[in-house]
Amino acid sequence: MVSDFENATAVGQIFLNTNAAAAAGAIAALGICKTTWGKADLTMVLNGALAGLVAITADPLSPTPVSALIIGLIAGALVVFSIVALDKVKIDDPVGAISVHGVCGLFGLMVVPFSNADASFGSQLFGAVVIFAWVFVSSLIVWGILKATMGIRVSEEEEMAGMDLHDCGVDAYPEFVSLK
């Protein structure tokens, strides 16, 4: 790679857009939480920042800084609604990874053509399908092997005691007590 003005400018634009999208995602998630539940939710705010990062990473160079802010704002709001929706349909995603990486990743891929003339919605959608298929099949294989060889569940006793105690030897949340 050649170090020149054009590449240095591109790196600066990528830094600016990435940080702007992350900040906007955090602000949007905070705003949604405050207006919906009347309080800030740190995990939602952090997921909002991650959502902005994931969404802009599909193409961090092409958007203007204002477009990067808008992409981050939408992703930050989208992740909150996605987490709530997945909870309502009882999909187990305790850290919001499906919402952050799946939903906001797809959103990020699909907005690329708005700022990059070399991209098309069809190619972006095709890319998303290929990514999903690869992750689904490879995960199915890896988790199948793990399940067959060493298991993927802990004992009921370990689950009730808490994995923090089992794995680390400390009770991370002593104020929470599970009743049988």
Q: Domain residues of the chain, as ranges? A: 1-118
Asked if 112 contacts 62 with a C-beta cutoff of 8 angstroms, the reply is yes
DSSP the chain: ---SHHHHHHHHHHHHHHHHHHHHHHHHHHHHHHHHHSS--HHHHHHHHHHHHHHHHTSSSSS-HHHHHHHHHHHHHHHHHHHHHHHHTT---TT-HIIIIIIHHHHHHHHHHHH-TT--HHHHHHHHHHHHHHHHHHHHHHHHHHHHHT-S---HHHHHH-HHHHHHSS-S-TT-----
How far apart are the C-alpha atoms of 180 and 169, rounded to whole Å? 22
Question: According to the model, what pLDDT value does residue 1 have?
Answer: 62
What pLDDT, on the 0 to 100 scale, is given for residue 180? Answer: 52
User: What string of pLDDT tens digits covers the 180 residues of the chain?
Assistant: 677 899 999 999 999 999 999 999 999 999 999 999 999 999 999 999 999 999 999 999 999 999 999 999 999 999 999 999 999 999 988 889 999 999 999 999 999 999 999 999 999 999 999 999 999 999 999 999 999 999 988 888 888 877 787 788 887 777 766 555
Contact between 113 and 120 (Cβ < 8 Å): yes
Q: Which amino acid is residue 172, in one-letter code?
A: A
Dist CA 70 CA 169 (whole Å): 44
**Whole-number pLDDT of residue 176:** 66
Nearest alpha-carbon partner for 49 in 104, 130, 131: 104
Tell me what pLDDT residue 179 has. 57
Apex 31 CA angle, 27 and 32, nearest 5 = 120
